[in-house]
Amino acid sequence: MLRGAVTDLLRHESIQTTEAKAREVSRLAEKAITRGKGGTLHDRRQAATMLTSESVLRKLFDELGPRYEDRPGGYTRMVKMAPRRGDAAAMAVVALV
C-alpha cells in the first residue's frame, strides 16, 4: 500500500491521504528522492524496489533528482486538512516542494 502511495506521490507530485499514511509516505518519498539524486546503478535498483512503475522510476532519476540536486533534504510538505466526512479520520495533503 505504501509503495503504491509513494509511486503516486512521485507521479502526480501531490496526494491526499490520512495523516498517519502521509507521514510514512513522506518518509519513504524522501529516501527515494535522495536515491534519485545519486544516480548510480545501485541507487536505481534500490529505488526500483520501492516503486511500482518504470515510468515513475525514470521520472525520479531524470526530472526529480536533478531538480533537488542543491537541496539537502525536505523534499515533501505535509498540510493538514479537515477531517474526512465518513469516519472523521484526520486527512492531509502530501506534496513535493
Question: CA 54 to CA 51: how far, in whole Å?
Answer: 8
Element at 18 (helix H, strand E): strand 14-18
Residue whose C-alpha cell reads 491526499 in the numeric block: 16
Task: Collect all residues with Cβ–Cβ distance below 8 Å to 5 and sequence separation of at least 6.
Answer: 15, 17, 21, 25
- Structural domain for 64, as ranges: 2-96
Q: Domains in the chain: how many in total?
A: 1
Convert the pLDDT of each residue in 72-86 to its tens digit: 999 999 999 999 999
Residue whose C-alpha cell reads 548510480 in the numeric block: 40
Domain of 86: which CATH number?
3.90.1030.10
Convert the pLDDT of each residue in 19-75 to its tens digit: 999 999 999 999 999 999 999 999 999 999 999 999 999 999 999 999 999 999 999
pTM for the whole thing? 0.94
Output the CA torsion 39→31→95→5 (10° steps): 100
